[in-house]
Amino acid sequence: MKILVCIKSVPDTETKIKIAADGKSADLTGAKMIISPYDEYALEEALLLKEAGRAAEVAVLGAGGDDVQPTLRHALAMGADRATLVQDAGLDAADPLARAEALAAGIRAEGADLVFAGKLGVGGDEGQVGPMLGELLDRPHVGNVFKMTVDSERFTAWRAIEGATEVVEGRLPAVIAWDKGEHEPRYASLKGIMAAKKKPLDVKPAAGLSSAPGAPRIVRESLELPPPRQAGRILKGDAAETARELARLLREEAKVV
């Protein structure tokens, strides 16, 4: 079985967001780019399946400009066998459907029984690509998965929903979009980093894989910072007094309880 893990390169979650000069995007100059955390969970689960003898190969796939390459190398250093970049610098700012279409073209070219992705790319926070890949590839998909078992034909996936878990059974080939799994992603060892330099990273221009995308389906108008919040009131007194006063304020002033 072959597992293909879709990887997105995103700014580190500690990055302070500044609005760029265009007023529409974030100025990420100097930001550290990392593998999107949920993609990293997905990759860890894929590597564990390979180590357990369930998968013969774990490949990673990115879509975007050449700046995605270091993130793909990081995935190789964690243990992926090979990497492919569907190259189109315009994809970094494209809508989720355009990114899903580029990834789907890459997946068709690669072939894979299981496609893994993160449940969302941290930053854009859309969470659309996983379900879209299921649709575009005409496969079942399961999102928000935190645990799965798989044999050569079928899988069972545990999906986190509000206050409960859905247990989903399905057939391969399939697309699984991972939530935080039960296993912490491994660190890339020095040996892994050295080995990654020799592993194949194929760059395939998107234009050669898929038909040209049509007009964008989503147009960004602006990006703004949240309105600054005023620091409110610090209540004075001992625990009993402040608790009593807070309960009163929540009821009478804020009217939220």
Partner 1 sequence: MGAILVLLERREGSLKSASLQAVSAARRLAGSGEAVEALALGTSAAACAAAAGAAGADRLHVVEDSAYDLYAAESYASALAAAAAACGATVILMAGTALGRDVAARVAARLRTGLLTDVVELERTAGGGLRGKRPVYSGKAFAWAQVPDARPAMATLRPNVFAATNDPGRVAEVVPLAVPSGTPRAVTVRLETAAQQELDVAEAPIVVSGGRGLKAPENFSLVRDLAHALGGAVGASRAVVDAGWIDHAHQVGQTGKVVSPSLYVACGISGAIQHLAGMSSSKVIVAINKDAEAPIFKIATYGIVGDVFEVLPKLTEEIKKL
Q: Read out DSSP for 179-205?
A: -S-SSPPPPPPHHHHHHHTTS-EEEEE
Comparing CB distances to partner 1, the nearer of 76 and 177 is: 177
CA 189 to chain centre: 22
Question: What residues from 160 to 189 belong to the interface with partner 1 (CB under 8 A)?
Answer: 160-171, 174, 179-180
Q: Is 182 left (phi over 0), alpha (psi -120 to 50) or beta?
A: alpha
| Burial of 28 from C-beta contacts in 10 A (0-12 / 13-18 / 19+) | middle
Among 130, 150, 185, 196, binds partner 1 (CB under 8 A): 130
Window contacting partner 1 (CB under 8 A); options: 46-54, 73-81, 186-194, 213-221: 213-221
Question: What residues from 193 to 212 belong to the interface with partner 1 (CB under 8 A)?
Answer: none
Q: 110 and 61 in contact (C-beta within 8 Å)?
A: yes
Window contacting partner 1 (CB under 8 A); options: 57-65, 69-77, 187-195, 218-226: 218-226
| Burial of 75 from C-beta contacts in 10 A (0-12 / 13-18 / 19+) | buried
Window contacting partner 1 (CB under 8 A); options: 9-17, 43-51, 53-61, 85-93: 9-17
Among 54, 140, 192, 203, binds partner 1 (CB under 8 A): 140
Q: 51 and 250 in contact (C-beta within 8 Å)?
A: no
Least distance from C-beta 188 to partner 1, angstroms? 19
Least distance from C-beta 160 to partner 1, angstroms? 6
Task: Give me the residue label for tokens 């575009």.
Answer: 136
Q: Verify binding: residue 149, partner 1, rule CB under 8 A.
A: no
Among 7, 141, 150, 196, binds partner 1 (CB under 8 A): 141
Least distance from C-beta 209 to partner 1, angstroms? 17
Q: Read out DSSP for 41-82?
A: HHHHHHHHHHHTTS-SEEEEEEEESGGGHHHHHHHHHHT-SE
Q: For residue 233, how many C-alpha atoms fall within 13 Å in the half-sphere facing its CB?
A: 10
Among 84, 87, 144, 210, binds partner 1 (CB under 8 A): 144
The binding track of 47-86 with respect to partner 1, each residue x by CB under 8 A or -, is ----------------------------------------
Comparing CB distances to partner 1, the nearer of 190 and 239 is: 239
Size of the site for partner 1 (CB under 8 A): 83
Q: 50 and 3 in contact (C-beta within 8 Å)?
A: yes
Among 52, 190, 212, 257, binds partner 1 (CB under 8 A): 257
